Amino acid sequence: MPKNIINHPEWVSIINNNVLFTGIDTNILLKITTKLHEVTVKQDGMIYQQGDEAKGLYLVVSGKVQIFTCSNKKTYILSHASNNHLFGEFLLLGNSIRTTSAVALEDSQLFYLSITDFNNLLKAFPQQFSIIANRVTNRLCWNQITSALRLSPLFWDLSEDIVRALTKELKIESIPANTLLYQKGVTSTELCIVIDGQFQVIKATADSQNIVLDVVGRGETIGEVGVLCDTTRTVDILATRDSMVAKLSRASFEQLLLSFPLQINRAFSKSIANRLSMHKKHKMPAAETFAMVVLSPSIKTQDIAQYLSDAFANQGSTSIVGSEIIDQAFSRKGTAQTDFNHPKNDDLLHWLSEWEIAHRNVIYIVDAELNNWTLRCLREADHIIFIVDATDNPAIGRFETQILNEIESTSKKQTLLIMHDNLQLVPFGTSHWLSPRNVDMHHHVRYSNQSDFDRVARFLTGKAVGLVLGGGGARGFAHIGILRALQQLNIPIDLIGGNSMGALIAAQSAMQWHHKDMIERTMQLCLAGDEFTLPIISIFSGKRMSRGLHAMFGDIHIDDLWHHFYTVSCNISRATLMTHDKGSLLSAVLNSNTPPGLFPPQVSHGDLLVDGALLNNVPVDIMRNYNEEGTIIAVDVNAREDLLNNTEHSGGISGWKVLLNKLNPIASTIKIPNMIETLTRASIIGGLAQRKKMLDGYADLYLQPPVTNFSLRDYKHGEQIAEIGYQYALEEFQTWLKTQA
């Protein structure tokens, strides 16, 4: 326990040496010393951790303390505090959260002043203590700048002395949401560092369409080239949230360059070189702030917010902020409704900024009406989450219309959560919710099913796991074993796609069927075979296959599935690959399961569709479009080489000869595939050429279960193939999980 220091005038000279207390009346300093506590910390002892409640500030009497922050699993050293240095500043209004951690690098003696005592002194001596309060606020702002600089690749290698000199040259500026920071055509004369918030880099096309080229967030910089030389901006920079930036003028930059030529030149050269070498398509960063808009009165908002918060917690520290929480933090009812032009607005902005820095994700709960707090939530959020009850009227109501009008001119992403009873087997009628809306994604969620909320959180934070299952006839039973292994090892599947047999298995997985049911139903379908027909269009009529798939999937739509799903087919009318991610599930699976020559092509809008294996048997590149930032697992059950060691013949061979050979037990066997085997193999050759894509950065994990010894039509061994896939996947996934850890 820290011990209170009472009547120690000798401590006045110590605290007076700190910039926070310089010039303050001696009597006030004496009063402060009566509130100080002495704290002893051993070497390597933690003083406080990021995310802790900020209850007071510290002054180093002796020793040395390191201040650091963690972001995206990386540690960034911000500064060091030694004799007479202050650390641990807090917000003067509202409860404050630590955005950094502090550890003693050696045995240290500290003074501690609690926030309660600080505020009591502020009330008792408002005139003198307001000077100290302003200095604390300035120090807090300086800390935010330092943190942003250390997160920036441009500055993180610079020494503390250079960073300290740099911060003195920076000019802080608040940029409201939907405001241009810089406009195309204007001469660039300064460097801008994002302290908090987010900006879009927008370029207008020849047909007046705006394209988002990049998204710039905390710690990132804008205008390195402009601060070096006169250049005209070629893009617009738009604030998508209420943001705070630090600007470095060219004159200030040149002064720093004179003082630290080698370090500054090296930092800027490296940054510009990195930008010039970024030839790959930019990936949009995951959102960090979310506005939760509940549209159904029957939904318990706090319960849903807590489920989401628990789900987000798996991705990092998460906080829920509603209007009541704001009022409680500031101990004043109505604070959340502060007008944007009110003098107290800056206090609220600083509080929210600190709160967002302290947490990886923040969930803002809007009020049930369009008031100042709701508007603020919409301005602060990167992503809007609309939440409805599946049993409600799907028409857009008045409140939702107001929300949509407010965000219409922004490019904020929108997600729709459709809530269901916990006993709901398969959702239905989803198209009625989606057709009047323009959401980026929707999710079906059961009210008390935490795994459903976890799935949503992974999507929203760019951590979704996608599984791609390739075609391969009977070998595709291995996919079922792989799904079983994933479930056993608690590796989630958030979206799934495939081709041919992979599409059939993926559809069942998206409906959340048990692996035993999947084996049983798939074997029943495949062993039933199909009806031979006059081979004018195809060898088989496809009627039995269609009836079997209809019995499986009925009238279910892809939008109704628990997991996001897609299949691919080849449009032989237009020589293109087709992706099926909406509409009838039955049609999507049929389109992808029509090997040319074996089954009649499916007809869609007059075009002919066949098995997608002609062009892309394992459509992992399609999955990357849906799951840009997440993890992708690809499963390929086909061998690159197959149907080998055939009997040679002189340019032609009679089917009668092959038949008689099979009937003659003493004749030398003629080894040659039948027509079905040849057509099946031919239908996947084009897709095999796409395998390089999986090995070229599309898939994070590429699996090839050892099932190529089974023929493509060896359906009677489905259970055995599934077991081989399961045993193989268990070993592969366990090895992979170790590398991920």
Return d(Cα 556, Cα 494) in angstroms, integer: 19
Give residue-wise pLDDT tens across range 558-610. Answer: 999 999 999 999 998 898 999 999 999 999 999 999 888 778 888 888 888 99
Q: How many CB atoms lie within 10 A of CB 439?
A: 15
> What CA–CA distances, in Å, run from 510 to 419, 514, 575?
17, 11, 29
Task: Give the list of residues 6+ apart from residue 417 with CB closer than 8 angstroms, or none.
Answer: 304, 385, 386, 387, 388, 442, 443, 445, 456
List, for the chain, all residue ranges whose pLDDT scores fall below the cut of 50.
Answer: 1, 5, 279-284, 643-645
Structure tokens at 400: 């939702």
Identity (one letter) of the amino acid at 109?
Answer: Q
Q: What is the pLDDT of residue 54?
A: 86
Task: Give the list of residues 6+ apart from residue 62 with CB closer than 8 angstroms, or none.
Answer: 83, 108, 109
Return d(Cα 377, Cα 359) in angstroms, integer: 16
SS3 9: coil
Give residue-wise pLDDT tens across range 254-302. Answer: 898 899 988 888 888 777 766 665 544 444 455 689 999 999 999 999 9
- CA dihedral defined by 448, 454, 456, 459, rounded to 10 degrees? 180
- 47 with 110: CB under 8 angstroms? yes
- 656 with 729: CB under 8 angstroms? no
- Helical segments of 528-673, H only: 543-553, 585-592, 620-626, 655-663
Candidates 431, 552, 437, 441; CA nearest to 494 is 441
Q: What is the pLDDT of residue 690?
A: 59
- 38 with 5: CB under 8 angstroms? yes
Structure tokens at 135: 């200095």
The reply to whether the predicted model has a pTM over 0.75 is yes
Candidates 498, 507, 511; CA nearest to 525 is 507
Q: How many CB atoms lie within 10 A of CB 471?
A: 32
Residue with structure tokens 């003098």? 343
Task: Give the list of residues 6+ apart from residue 10 with CB closer than 8 angstroms, or none.
Answer: none
Return d(Cα 540, Cα 531) in angstroms, integer: 5
Rg of the chain (C-alpha set): 32
- 86 with 57: CB under 8 angstroms? yes
- Domains annotated on the chain, with CATH: 9-149 (2.60.120.10), 160-277 (2.60.120.10), 288-461 (3.40.50.300), 470-641+669-740 (3.40.1090.10)
- 401 with 438: CB under 8 angstroms? no
Phi/psi class of residue 508: alpha, beta or left (left: φ > 0; alpha: ψ in -120 to 50)?
alpha
Identity (one letter) of the amino acid at 183?
Answer: Q
Q: What is the pLDDT of residue 94?
A: 60
